[in-house]
Chains A and B, each alone.
Chain A
Amino acid sequence: MIRAEHIVKSFDGRVVLNDISATFRTGTTNLIIGQSGSGKTVLLKSLVGLHRIDSGAIYYDDICFSQLGFRELKAIRREVGMLFQGGALLDSSNVEENVRLPLDLFTSQSAEEKRERVHFCLKRVNLENVDHLYPAELSGGMIKRVAIARAIVLNPKYLFCDEPNSGLDPMTSVVIDNLIKEITEEYNITTIINTHDMNSVLEIGEHVLFIYKGQKWWEGTKHDILHTDNRELNDFVFASTMAKRAKACSQIHLDEP
């Protein structure tokens, strides 16, 4: 479980996150949604420690993450996996080397054990026979899957995903969403996903946090979203005509006796 308490973060005097508190449960896909520039990426990067918060506290289970020193932070980061927007695979390493890197650095496993673990993780994300390929030779969906394999190779307790579906077609997006959800449940991971893809929200949004102008504006589940009367959330989620119609249909069905 990850708990944020009254987080405040500003850049050059401009407050980007204003008093945000939330609890992200283990074994659940927690989604942070919001418009571009609302502060959701800053929130995710603050939660993972890439930004130092101005005030407030972040707890990883019972450990106050935001107060940790360099060594403790380094230790806990080995329990963290992160999927970046562009995958962030090392360009100079092939798929196998990318996934193996955390094992090389932080375990004393033999070469054979590492190879087995790498292949297991690649198989788990439905990738096979791609070990020798370099990131430049992979499609967007494959890059995301390799990045997921790298993120889970050390059996993390916490998984962060920054816009996992950006740049992917709708079908591949669903595959990635379901993969993240399955992995979260299978390994009982605390997963936090930053997205503005409404398909993801309605597909895997077990716990959704809506950020608006740097503040926590709404919190609930994917089912609650369909019935909320929160104007800003409705404007955001049902921005397109198609989404508005879909909502209207769903309400008609719900209102039927």
Chain B
Amino acid sequence: MKNNLFDLAGRYFILMGKVLSKPEKRSIYGRRILAEIASLGLNSIGIVAIISVFMGAVITIQMALNLESPFIPKYLIGYAARESMLLEFSSTVVALILAGKVGSNIASEIGTMRITEQIDALEIMGVNSASYLILPKIVATVLFFPFLTILSMGIGVAGGYVVCVLTGIVNPEAYIVGVQSDFKPFYITYSLIKSSTFAFIITSISGFYGYYANGNSLEVGRASTQAVVVSSIVILIFNLILTQVLLT
């Protein structure tokens, strides 16, 4: 099978055409979306929370160590930690981590369905298998990832506060002042747009690699790895594009 970039892109867009076609029965898709929110979204809360709290704490410590100057007010550490979480970490870094967790899950699940003929069985029944399997995952993640991003922002900033209290590296009151200063609500919007876009990228690319997996379990593993690698690269490219488009 050809695997050059144009061939892959062509097959990806053809698959997306099938995925985004009109669903057979909306009520079935509604139920599947809820199930996917539980499977892909709610099950990711734990890892997002753990990563965010440590990320917020580390950013705060590093800011405090690097901004040790009598000319720089201490509250700027809280400000910088908040901006880092809002602008980049809670959307992009969390998306890269979810590309590993959710992306490999989707690619291996759909890939296994392919090699065990479950997808053929759906096709024989007259079901649009691409739409039935991938669309609910896309909708679920596009809707739920922004909540994970908001959660990550809150927990990350709280992680910074906790480290201030525990280590005394920065005065906690100064940190809170920094967190509250010069707040731009658009940064939240920008971050949510990015997280929804990244959710689409992760789910559609992982679905694509799983759907076209063939052969045996080795191929499913390979498809899963490719899904994570390609999703991560595309996320970084779109991060650059969206930052340029939305912030400049």
Task: Report yes or no: A77 in contact with B126, Cβ–Cβ below 8 A.
Answer: yes
Q: Which residues of A contact B116 (CB under 8 A)?
A: 86, 88, 91
**The one of A80, A90, A102, A104 that contacts B118, using a Cβ cutoff of 8 Å:** A90
Q: Which residues of A contact B117 (CB under 8 A)?
A: 84-86, 88
Task: Report yes or no: A78 in contact with B121, Cβ–Cβ below 8 A.
Answer: no
Tell whether A82 pairs with B121 under 8 Å between CB atoms, given A74-B126, A75-B126, A88-B116.
Answer: yes
Q: Which residues of A contact B28 (CB under 8 A)?
A: 104-105
Within the complex, the shortest CB–CB distance from B210 to chain A, in Å, comes to: 14
Count contacts on B: residues with CB < 8 A to the other chain.
15
Task: Report yes or no: A77 in contact with B118, Cβ–Cβ below 8 A.
Answer: no
Q: Which residues of A contact B24 (CB under 8 A)?
A: 105-106
**Once bound together, how far apart are the Cα atoms of A104 and B24, in whole Å?**
10
Task: Report yes or no: B120 in contact with A84, Cβ–Cβ below 8 A.
Answer: yes
Q: Which residues of B contact A254 (CB under 8 A)?
A: none
**Once bound together, how far apart are the Cα atoms of A96 and B28, in whole Å?**
15
**Once bound together, how far apart are the Cα atoms of A88 and B124, in whole Å?**
11
Contact with B along A65-90 (1 / 0, CB 8 A): 00000000011011011101110111
Asked if B68 is an interface residue, CB under 8 A from chain A, the answer is no
Within the complex, the shortest CB–CB distance from A136 to chain B, in Å, comes to: 12
Q: Which residues of B contact A85 (CB under 8 A)?
A: 117
Tell whether A84 pairs with B121 under 8 Å between CB atoms, given A77-B126, A78-B126, A106-B126.
Answer: yes
Within the complex, the shortest CB–CB distance from B239 to chain A, in Å, comes to: 32
Chain A's closest residue to B125 (CB) is: A102
Chain A's closest residue to B27 (CB) is: A104
Count contacts on A: residues with CB < 8 A to the other chain.
23
Within the complex, the shortest CB–CB distance from A112 to chain B, in Å, comes to: 16
Task: Report yes or no: B118 in contact with A50, Cβ–Cβ below 8 A.
Answer: no
Task: Report yes or no: B25 in contact with A50, Cβ–Cβ below 8 A.
Answer: no
Chain A's closest residue to B32 (CB) is: A92
Q: Which residues of A contact B118 (CB under 8 A)?
A: 88-91
**Once bound together, how far apart are the Cα atoms of A75 and B127, in whole Å?**
10
Asked if B173 is an interface residue, CB under 8 A from chain A, the answer is no
Task: Report yes or no: B25 in contact with A82, Cβ–Cβ below 8 A.
Answer: no
Q: Which residues of A contact B124 (CB under 8 A)?
A: 48-50, 77, 80-82, 160
**Once bound together, how far apart are the Cα atoms of A49 and B126, in whole Å?**
11
Within the complex, the shortest CB–CB distance from B131 to chain A, in Å, comes to: 11
**The one of A75, A77, A89, A160 that contacts B125, using a Cβ cutoff of 8 Å:** A77
**Once bound together, how far apart are the Cα atoms of A89 and B117, in whole Å?**
9
Chain A's closest residue to B126 (CB) is: A77
Asked if A101 is an interface residue, CB under 8 A from chain B, the answer is yes
Chain B's closest residue to A12 (CB) is: B1
**Once bound together, how far apart are the Cα atoms of A67 and B91, in whole Å?**
48
Chain B's closest residue to A107 (CB) is: B25
Task: Report yes or no: B125 in contact with A101, Cβ–Cβ below 8 A.
Answer: yes
**Once bound together, how far apart are the Cα atoms of A84 and B112, in whole Å?**
15
**Once bound together, how far apart are the Cα atoms of A214 and B112, in whole Å?**
29
Q: Which residues of B contact A77 (CB under 8 A)?
A: 123-126
Chain A's closest residue to B124 (CB) is: A82
Within the complex, the shortest CB–CB distance from A135 to chain B, in Å, comes to: 10
**Once bound together, how far apart are the Cα atoms of A106 and B126, in whole Å?**
9
Q: Which residues of B contact A80 (CB under 8 A)?
A: 124, 126
Within the complex, the shortest CB–CB distance from B19 to chain A, in Å, comes to: 15
**Once bound together, how far apart are the Cα atoms of A82 and B24, in whole Å?**
20
Q: Which residues of B contact A88 (CB under 8 A)?
A: 116-118, 120-121
**Once bound together, how far apart are the Cα atoms of A8 and B58, in whole Å?**
65
Within the complex, the shortest CB–CB distance from A134 to chain B, in Å, comes to: 13
**Once bound together, how far apart are the Cα atoms of A84 and B120, in whole Å?**
9
Within the complex, the shortest CB–CB distance from A171 to chain B, in Å, comes to: 25
Within the complex, the shortest CB–CB distance from A228 to chain B, in Å, comes to: 33
- Residue of A102, A104, A105 ringed by the most chain B CB atoms within 10 A: A105
Contact with A along B1-43 (1 / 0, CB 8 A): 0000000000000000000000011001000000000000000
A-B CB contact pairs (8 Å), 14 listed? A48-B124, A50-B120, A80-B124, A80-B126, A82-B121, A84-B121, A85-B117, A86-B117, A88-B116, A89-B121, A90-B118, A102-B125, A105-B28, A106-B24
Residues of chain B at the chain A interface (Cβ within 8 Å): 24-25, 28, 112-113, 116-118, 120-121, 123-127
Residues of chain A at the chain B interface (Cβ within 8 Å): 48-50, 74-75, 77-78, 80-82, 84-86, 88-91, 101-102, 104-106, 160
